[in-house]
Every structure is written in structure tokens, then in C-alpha cells.
Amino acid sequence: MQDTLLVQTYQELEQDIVRFLTQRLKCRSTAKDLAQETFLRLSQVEDPASIKNTRAYLYRVASNLATDFIRVESRRAALLRETVSDWKTHGIGPEREVAAKLELDYLLEVVTALPPLSRRIFYLNRFENLPQRQIARRLGVSTTTVEKHIKKVLELLAQARDRFETPNF
């Protein structure tokens, strides 16, 4: 990507954007990820010269990404609450609940240990429901690369799940 006024503005405001996102999301790590996503979105702007107020544009992109992230997290939390409610309704006891939480924590450790690109591709595909072609365009990689990363992550999660031993209660 050439050094446009938009890119220069981003570079000047990057720390301010991270602070802005941190205030909205209450998580600096997520804020940094979304700031990076903001930068990646710049590569998708076809005519950067047409943007009159680059500062406002950058903050709008960051704000929209934060809003989307909050919406996805809210849906995920609602789904989790619904699942827990179903478990309780169908008589799944506290022992199974604890075992499921331990397994989830273990799988989250596996995902956290993934290389950043694999983790990002997996997140965009599974939590933002983006098609592989769109992920490839967004991240500047080939669709084959996206497919390979998703396949590898799913294999690792399946292996991790097989290795996980449910505690005996």
C-alpha cells in the first residue's frame, strides 16, 4: 500500500485510536487488534484522495469496528447464556457444567497459542462469519492460505479435544 495521506494520518493517530478503542472495549489487546483491522481497511479504500477529513474517517472506521465487535460478543454471550439455561433445563448438573468450562478453557488456551494470522483467520471465519474469499482480501493473502489456516486450526482443536480428559466427579 502506498503512503497516502490516509496512511500517514493513521500512523500519526495510531496510539490515539488504540486509546479510543480501549475506552470503548475495556480491553487493550482487543483495541490493538481492531486498530490493526482499521489499518487493514485502509488498503480497501479505492480512492483515498476522495476522503476530505481523514481523521474523522479513521475514527469512524475504528468506531464501526468496535460496534461490530461488541455486537458479535453480545450475540456470543447471549448464546452462551441460552446454552447454560438449556443445560440447566435439561438436567445437566453442576459437575458437567464444570467439566464443560474446563474443556472450554483448555480449548481457549489452544486458540490463544495459535500464530496471530491463524487466530485472526479463525476469528473472522467462525465469529464474524466472513467467507474465506473476503477474509483473504481483507488480510491480503490467498484464499488457499485462508483455507489451509482454517483446516489446521480445526485439526488442532479436534486433537486438543481428543486429548482433553474430563475430570472424574
pLDDT digits (tens, 9 = 90+) for 8-44: 888 899 999 999 999 999 889 999 999 999 998 887 8
Which of 46-55, 69-78, 88-97, 140-149 shows the lowest per-residue confidence on average (mean pLDDT)? 88-97
Final residue before a domain boundary, out of 69, 92, 115: 92
Pair (71, 101) in one structural domain:
no
Here the cell at position 39 is 489499518
Pair (88, 98) in one structural domain:
no
Residues spanned by the domain of 64: 1-92
- Helix (H) / strand (E) element for 48: namely none
**Mean of pLDDT over the chain:** 85
Pair (87, 103) in one structural domain:
no
How many domains does the structure of the chain reveal?
A: 2
Pair (78, 103) in one structural domain:
no
Q: What percentage of residues in the chain have a pLDDT greater than 90?
A: 36
Closest alpha carbon to 168 in 86, 96, 70: 96
pLDDT at residue 90 tops 70:
no
Pair (151, 87) in one structural domain:
no
Rounded to 5°, the CA angle 11-41-107 comes to 100
